[in-house]
Structure 1
């Protein structure tokens, strides 16, 4: 300790015993021990503060490296921002579709984008059936008086004639 060997320490103890005296020496050693404990406490507190400053400086350096690097964008990794943008895109598409539908409902004179194909097909079938019926009237038996005439599902019913 402090470069003092045991023979030198023994000489210091004998000189202190002679100078201070045997009655005052235990009190003096006690106060010297308290003083040393206080000095050690202050040294450990100082060391703790220095370590905290170094740790804080290291954290600041790491933070600067992370925010300064071009390869890593922490805000781009935010999942809530991605979800919000997807929801906003969906809402914009929905609002656009609603506006188009409202415009079509408000203006009934505008023709639809594609005409329904179903209306043209039954008209073609009825025209074909009428031509076929005129060409071969003897092929089908005439309905008897007891059986009512039932029109085909795709044929239009004829106007009723008043009997009377």
Structure 2
């Protein structure tokens, strides 16, 4: 990213030591590293979100293509995208089915009493 060599880092370190002093230098380095770490985390989160959105957009495009051409005439990549969408939809519905069933069973058992 940046082209900083050993001598440049040494000069920056000496200047920081003179300006901040030996008491405040470790705290300044620590806070700088925390800031750099948080910036990297934000950048990685952004990259993951963009990647997820692009994949979602691609799946939707394949689904639209499949609807236009008919499900029997689509290619293998489009069929795979459709299967991914179906499995994602099924996985989203599963947690709700499990949470609804016990409450319905408890209300039915209360009605029987």
- TM-score tier after normalising by the smaller chain length: 0.5 to 0.7
Is contact 1:17-1:25 (8 Å) kept? yes
Q: Does 1:53 align with 2:63?
A: no
Structure 1 residue ranges without an equivalent (≥5):
75-164
1-structure distance, mates of 2:14, 2:22: 10
TM-score normalized by the length of structure 1: 0.42
Unmatched 5+ residue regions in structure 2?
75-113
Larger helix proportion, structure 1 or 2?
A: 2
TM-score, with normalisation over the residues of structure 2? 0.60
RMSD: 1.9
- Bigger Rg, structure 1 or 2: 1
Once superposed, which parts of structure 1, at least 4 consecutive aligned residues long, lie more than 2 Å away?
Answer: 70-74
- 2:51 pairs with 1:22: no
CA shift digits 1:83-134 (9 cap, x unpaired): xxxxxxxxxxxxxxxxxxxxxxxxxxxxxxxxxxxxxxxxxxxxxxxxxxxx
Match of 2:32 in 1: 32
Relative contact order, higher structure (CA 8 A, sep 6+): 2
